[in-house]
Amino acid sequence: MEWLSTQAPHCEACRATTINFEPWSEARCENCRVDLLEENQDAGTIYIMCRNQVITAGMGEIIDINLQTVKAVMDLYGVKNQRECMEKVTKTFRHYLSKRRDEQN
């Protein structure tokens, strides 16, 4: 996915909405908001809704995002091009999972 801007939540109120898993687009103030390109709006919404629904193994190691959850949420939100959306969501999830693993090492 491509971003129009890449700002992480800076203020306390926006960090609180992130912790409470609230939808990100309307909840963020102007300084903390991340604007996605139009073609990435669905994938961004689905990713935010599903990013904590994961498959784990062993000692709780995260392996991947739960694709059944992604599919169910895409159905609920009426996503038209689900294959493309699924690819964007999984690519985004795996990017951040890899980044997290790198930071732990």
- How many domains in the chain? 1
pTM of the predicted model as reported, rounded to 2 decimal places? 0.72
pLDDT tens sequence for the chain (105 residues): 444 444 455 577 666 665 555 554 555 566 666 778 999 999 999 998 999 999 999 899 999 999 999 999 999 999 999 999 999 999 999 999 999 889 888
Decide if 78 is inside a domain: yes
Boundaries of domain holding 41: 36-104
Q: Is residue 23 a part of any domain in this protein?
A: no
Please indicate, yes or no, if residue 28 is contained in any of the structural domains. no
Q: Report if residue 88 sits inside a domain.
A: yes
Instruction: Determine, yes or no, domain membership for 18.
Output: no
The reply to whether 4 falls in a domain is no
Note whether residue 81 is domain-resident. Answer: yes
Predicted pLDDT at 51: 93
Query: Looking at residue 105, what is its pLDDT?
Result: 81
DSSP the chain: --BS------SHHHHHHHHTT--HHHHS-TTT--PBPGGGHHHHHHHHHHTT-EEEETTTEEEEE-HHHHHHHHHHHT-S-HHHHHHHHHHHHHHHHHHHHHHH-
Say if 67 falls within a structural domain.
Answer: yes
